[in-house]
Structure 1
Amino acid sequence: MPITSSAKARAKKIKLLLFDVDGVLTDGKLFLFPVPTSQSSGPASGPIVVEAKGFHAQDGAGISIARIAGIKSGLITRRNSETVALRARDLKLEQVHQGIQNKLKAFREILSAEGLSASEVAFVGDDVIDLTVMRNCGFSVAVANARREVKDAAHYVTPHAGGDGALRDVIEFILKAQGKWKQAVEKYIGRESGDSN
């Protein structure tokens, strides 16, 4: 999908970046590891299942750079996962909404809580469950491996797939459109190196 002037104009207004998790922040694969329970723990209720997901470090760095530039971040996901809760804490996400059956309702609640209009919020999705928010936000983004309907609804499609730096693509696009990328990167580098300049 070619980058349009409309996409850049929409990106200039963004103050909050929201995204789905499975298929956006991750590659969409779920790794479930059963851990047998002890016989002495009472009635058999089946194995305990430990979930694992892979997150791309460039997405995490991008979220830190976005925060430096004044853009908040958050997630809206249908599933509940302690792995996601841990990653959200690590990334210091301002909005974390798990176990959400109605993403549009959650989106509207976030707008109210943040005091933002829909035009000031971007949303990144990969599957049809994300369409309700994508159709109502100011800047809708599909990852490269999103379903066709999702790409068709997007103002921008990332060059990278979900879980492979797609969120970083979005952050760079937004900050470059706003003219904040270079300065935010320099501040990020200074923080990482301990340079306070």
Structure 2
Amino acid sequence: MRIKLIVLDVDGVLTDGRLYIGSDGTEYKAFHTQDGMGISLAKQVGIKLAIITGRQSAAVRTRAEELKFDYVFEGIHDKLETLRKIIDEIGIGFEEVCYMGDDLNDIPILTKVGWPCAPHNAIDIVKNQATFVTDSDGGNGAVREMIDSLLLQKYSQEEIVQLFLSKKAKITQ
């Protein structure tokens, strides 16, 4: 399998799915640093990264900027159409895409991509669509687990460690 693009949902995948909203309306999200390291490693081997999420959040934009995501789409109701635009721009097919989602709105993409993935805490119908279901819950290292599994299809553990050590200054958690 040759994955060229990893696409992630946010709530329930990069976060645990809970929403923290302050009395002033500010939304807060908790992201896992191990997911950040995995995302940075994927970028180091040339995999492009995208977020397609139904919500809009300054916290997501900040985290995506820190991790240098190639594409960030928020407030999206038709995630599949957005993915079509991305793959057309890159010039790849659905079979070269890995997608991780956790709920009903992710199913249209999960049924199209080459490597559909779900975190452990995804709803059952989503897990049934996934080729790979993590042992970790969303927001608790599920993205890292998925990326490690993907990278281990091409690289040894030692090569991944060497990649980190050689590029350490450019990697963000």
Larger radius of gyration: 1
Q: Deviations over 1:150-183 (max 9, x none)?
A: 0000001011000000000110111111236532
CA offset at residue 52 of structure 1? 0.4
The unaligned stretches of length 5 or more in structure 2 are none
Which residue is 1:111 aligned to? Answer: 87
Whether 2:118 is the aligned partner of 1:142: answer yes
Letter in 2 for 1:28: G
Which residue is 2:136 aligned to? Answer: 160
- 1:94 corresponds, among 54, 67, 70, to 70
- 1:21 corresponds, among 4, 7, 10, to 10
CA contact (8 A) 1:64 1:188 kept: no
CA contact (8 A) 1:66 1:184 kept: no
Letter in 2 for 1:18: V
Structure 1: distance between partners of 2:74 and 2:169: 34
**SS where residue 177 of structure 1 aligns?**
coil
TM-score, normalised to structure 1, is 0.83
Query: Percentage identity across aligned positions?
Result: 39
Q: Deviations over 1:19-39 (max 9, x none)?
A: 10000000001100012xxxx
Structure 1: distance between partners of 2:146 and 2:77: 25
TM-score, normalised to structure 2, is 0.94
Instruction: Pick closer, same or farther for the CA change 1:14–1:181 going to 2, 3 Å.
Output: farther
Structure 2: distance between partners of 1:92 and 1:181: 24
The unaligned stretches of length 5 or more in structure 1 are 1-11, 36-48
- 1:130 corresponds, among 93, 97, 106, to 106
Structure 1: distance between partners of 2:147 and 2:7: 11
CA offset at residue 187 of structure 1? 2.1
Which residue is 1:82 aligned to? Answer: 58
